[in-house]
Amino acid sequence: MKTAIVFGSTGLIGGHLVNQLIQDNYYSKIKIFVRSQTSINNEKVEVINIDFNNLGNHKTEITGDDCFFCIGTTKQNSPDKNDYQKVELDIPKEIAQIAKANSVKSFIFISSIYANPNSSGNYVKFKGLVEEELKRLNFSKLGILRPSFLMGKRKENRVGEKIGILTFRALSPLLLGPLKKMRPINSEKVAKAMIKISNGDFRQQVFESNEIVEISNN
């Protein structure tokens, strides 16, 4: 029986992830780190209020077997460039460093399609830089998931993303070969793949969107 550590439990992927972890017999305890109150109420779940500006204060709490990181933001929600960098780059790196220092065995991270540390765009650049740090930390098991457009019911309205999803859903039959990773993906499938990767025996560390679908379907 294992202990799961979850960051981003209230998000699109994180919500599905926690629900699936509750049903998963591999896990006897699920530690979710949140900034505000949550409606999640289950005997397996331990809710920990966290101050992301002082992560060092939570070193003794970021302990367990598998760490699942689903936190992300948008320019709309974090218009200040420093805040945006903190959420997308600084926080995941620091949490991963703490997890490694506490001998957490696996780290499963939601990155992005086309993540690249050398990109001119901050979103994919920051995701790429986090990926580099995770590889450097050398976890016993590392899963970097790069989903395409996420399908699912969000709390906030993202018009641009909805347009992108509709466009790529229409084009999906034409997205073959290397372009298969651009097909929209259901957020529930991403959550399912995260758990399978944490408990499976995979040689690779980076999983493109079409590979995530294949893992979740098997």
- CATH number of residue 13's parent domain: 3.40.50.720
Instruction: Provide mean pLDDT across the span 189-204.
Output: 95
Confidence of residue 127 (pLDDT cuts 50, 70, 90): very high
Q: Tell if the pTM clears 0.85, that is, is over it.
A: yes
Domain span at residue 198? 2-217
- 77-81, 104-108, 159-163: the lowest-pLDDT one: 159-163
The number of domains in the chain is 1
Q: Are 167 and 132 in contact (CB under 8 A)?
A: no
The pLDDT of residue 38: 80
Between CA 114 and CA 76 the distance in angstroms is 21
The pLDDT of residue 155: 56
Confidence of residue 75 (pLDDT cuts 50, 70, 90): confident
